[in-house]
Structure 1
Amino acid sequence: MIRKSIKCICTENPEQWIWTEYMLLQNEETARRYLIDAYSRRPFNQPDRLAYRNVPAFTSYINQATSLIKESQTNHPWVRPILLYYGMMSMLKAWLLTRIPDYPQNTAVLRHGLSTRKRKRERFRFCEDEIKIQREGLFPLVAEEWNLPPMTGESYTAKELFSFIPDLHPTYHRLFQQKSLARVFFTRSGAGLLLHVPEQVLDHFHLSAERLVDKLNQARHGLFSLSTSRGYDGYLTLHCACDEEGLSTVVVDNPLPPHPGFPSLSTTESLCVSFHHPWFYENKKGDLYLWLGNDRPVAPLPEILVHLMLLFSLSMLCRYDPPLWGEIMLDNQQAEQIIIHELLELVPRKFAQLMLTAFAEEKLILRAH
């Protein structure tokens, strides 16, 4: 997914702004105009006719998704994962309809596309549970539209999936005594940008600076090069190529405070950087983190798919093993309960924002007054 533009929104209530934006996709007249534009960009033949045909299904998916996700915020944790997961599914079905006008092409694409162990082990820990990717269904279809390679048979533990979410990283670090993400910063360099990465990541990857650049460029060829500019103590400085395939910026009046230790360093939110690379993740404010990998070599996943996999697993627990779900959510003996609660609080805001970015095909930075 390449984002070619940036929209910075100042609002008193970011979450309310998000749901107000979705109203434009719930209304048939405005949704039809959106679909015409989406089909024209692909391009498809007769975008007007396709939009007229698909707008009832599209608005129905959006209405169901927004209702379920917002309803989850008012319900007890006993049912929250079920409401969130099916709301997320409906949102992704609407998005697929903008890229595949004939969706659903067959009944196979209506499956979950994910599976998890039905009979849980004794002394079950959710973070050790594995979610496996199937050959057919919603998940592999969305992954294909995200231009990801086939992942049939690949599995991820819930702990691995939590490692991708920057908003949960402080809790992840405290619970597992591991760092999965490293905060990065920027400075301007003429028309381009310099990316400053903590030098400790070289020890983590067991790589030299040159090999780290090669590793990152394998995913986005030519985006990075080692900078010859004077850097900052404790940071590795990389030059970022500015082009519409990789990175773009806009200047924002009254930017947020920079890095407290180095006043000349900036956060991505203060510069409004639209940055696209699979090894980098953003929190809901737009700050950027480099993913440090896991205990085994798994590929990074888009955060939208991470949310979907985690909520799939949690919703299966809710539906098919209520006693076990009750132990996890109501028994304070398990520390992983904390990160699950945080996830359930985060998803309605973060997933909705990520999907709005996918629908608009532009980066959204929401800044509270």
Structure 2
Amino acid sequence: MKANDFYMYINTQQTAQEYLFTCYREMADREAKSYQNSQTFMYYLDHGQKFYANGRGADDVVKPVLYFYGMTHLLKAYLLTVRPDYPESTSMLAHGVTVRKRKKKQYTFMDDEVKLQRQGLFPYFSEHLYSLKNISYEKLRMDVLFSTLPEMEDFYSLEKKAKMIVVGTSDSSLLKFPLSLLDSYHLTDKAFIHRVEGYLPAIKQVDMDNDSISIRLERSLDSSHSPFVTHMYNKKVYFPLHRDHFLPFPEVMSHYLILFNLSMLCRYEAEWWGDLLLSRPDRDFPYISRFLEVTSEKIPELIGEELLRKYGK
């Protein structure tokens, strides 16, 4: 079943409650909690999809805001599947990330950065949806976050600044890494395998030749978990080419951070945002435009797939 079909299926109070009842299988009060949360869950999903639908038809001036709030609604619905009492406090309602208030004279979006906070939605969903607590990064640059998204790789390749390589396909359990990658990561073959195996399903077999390391898995990869990411259109699996771009967290988190920054620019930096859209002064414009196109489709699909997998389990 596709993500959009699953969204449609759970868009009633009855099916939403049945879905939450399944998610709460280990809770003593699962029936009461699933009934209590079913309407909120349904509305989070419905409002999130409507933000995205309106964003796709809106002017570029307001798209980041609509996509960001569409994403936050879908994330809150997802959180209700594992945290039936969310939000437990008002501190969790903050965004969980901040940006620089004053922009430098020669400001470019690619060089901008976001600062991660200890409280708010970002650290909360990182912990409870993706088991990532106490993330080691204080700040992250936009260029680094863009480099973790496989759909941006065409642009980096045009500039001779490749950030990722193809190591497999989404329908295959075989991954193949060139040995030259070991130099970039400053690791031996055994150390490299040890580095990546924690992000993979069980490894069935490892083979080496003069050019590459081949890893055969027990099953194919889920599409949403970095540092292995699946291209939305060609369904190839990408891996970071450089160790500096090895961000060990799901792609959803990168989209959230980029969208938050763009939504702040579009709301509070009208002169810069207007100049970007009308004058297109630098490389920020094609990267941002491409990202907005991708995120409008990929985030609803990724979150929908994760919700569907929970139902399958």
TM-score by length of 1: 0.77
Equivalent of 1:80 in 63, 83, 102: 63
- Equivalent of residue 147 in structure 1, options 119, 128, 131: 131
Aligned to 1:239: 215
- Match status 1:209 vs 2:189: yes
Of all paired residues, the percent bearing the same amino acid is 28
| Residue matched to 2:7 | 22
8 A Cα contact 1:69 1:348, kept in partner: yes
CA contact (8 A) 1:114 1:132 kept: yes
1:4-27 Cα deviation digits (max 9, x unpaired): xxxxx6xxxxxxx64343122322
Other-structure match for 1:181:
164
Q: Which amino acid aligns with 1:174?
A: L
User: Corresponding residue for 1:32?
Assistant: 17
1:360 aligns with 2:287: no
| Cα distance change on mapping 1:283 and 1:220 into 2, 3 Å | closer
CA shift in 2, pair 1:301/1:348, >3 Å: same
Contact 1:274 1:363 in 2 (8 A): no
Q: 1:353 to 1:50 in 2, by over 3 A?
A: same
What's the CA shift for 1:201? Answer: 1.5
Q: Could you say which residue in structure 2 is the equivalent of 1:328? A: 276
Q: In 2, are the aligned partners of 1:69 and 1:84 still within 8 Å (CA)?
A: yes
Question: Is 1:138 paired with 2:112?
Answer: no
Cα displacement string for residues 311-346 of structure 1 (whole angstroms, at most 9, x for unaligned residues): 000000011111111122222221121011011111
Conserved? CA contact 1:184–1:195, under 8 Å: yes
- Given that residues 110 and 138 in structure 1 are in contact (C-alpha distance below 8 angstroms), is that contact kept between their aligned partners in structure 2? yes
Q: How far apart in 2 are the matches of 1:327 and 1:46? A: 54
Q: Does 2:75 align with 1:92?
A: yes
Structure 1: 5+ residue runs without aligned partners? 1-8, 10-16, 243-247, 250-272, 365-369
- 2:178 is the counterpart of 1:198: yes
Residue 94 of structure 2 is aligned to residue 116 of structure 1: no
Is it true that 1:287 corresponds to 2:248 in the alignment?
no
**Displacement, 1:98?**
0.8
CA gap 1:299/1:224 in 2 versus in 1, 3 angstroms: farther
Higher relative contact order (CA 8 A, sep 6+): 1
Tell me, yes or no, if the aligned pair for 2:232 and 2:298 is still in contact at 8 Å: yes
Q: How far off is 1:348 after superposition?
A: 1.6
- SS of structure 2 residue aligned to 1:184: strand
2:110 and 2:142 in contact (8 A); partners too: yes
Q: Where does residue 61 of structure 1 map in the other structure?
A: 44
Q: For the Cα contact (< 8 Å) 1:180–1:292, is it kept in 2? A: yes
* Cross-structure match for 2:150: 166
Change in Cα spacing, 1:48 to 1:362, as seen in structure 2 (3 Å) is closer
Distance change in 2, residues 1:147/1:159 (3 Å): same
Secondary structure in 2 matching 1:182: strand
The two structures have a TM-score, normalised by structure 2, of 0.90
Does the 8 Å contact 1:357/1:363 carry over to 2?
A: no
* 1:224 Cα deviation from its structure 2 partner: 7.3
5+ long unaligned stretches in structure 2: none
Distance 2:227 2:154 in 1: 19
Task: Give the 3 Å change call, closer, same or farther, for CA 116–360 of structure 1 in structure 2.
Answer: same
Which structure has more helix as a fraction of its residues?
2
Shift of 1:307: 0.6
Q: Closer, same or farther in 2 for the Cα pair 1:276/1:329, shift >3 Å?
A: closer
Distance apart, 1:71 and its partner CA: 0.5
Query: Could you tell me which residue of structure 2 aligns to residue 245 of structure 1?
Result: none
- What is the CA–CA distance in structure 1 between the aligned matches of 2:190 and 2:109, rounded to whole Å? 38
How far 1:203 moved relative to its partner?
2.8
Whole-angstrom CA distance in 2 between matches of 1:158 and 1:97: 29
Say whether the 8 Å CA contact 2:144–2:245 is kept in structure 1.
no
Map 1:262-281 to 2 at 5 A: 273-274=221-222, 278-281=226-229
Say if 2:37 is the partner of 1:49: no
- Number of residue pairs matched? 309
Q: Check conservation: 1:71, 1:83, Cα contact below 8 A.
A: yes
The alpha carbon displacement at 1:225 in A equals: 5.9
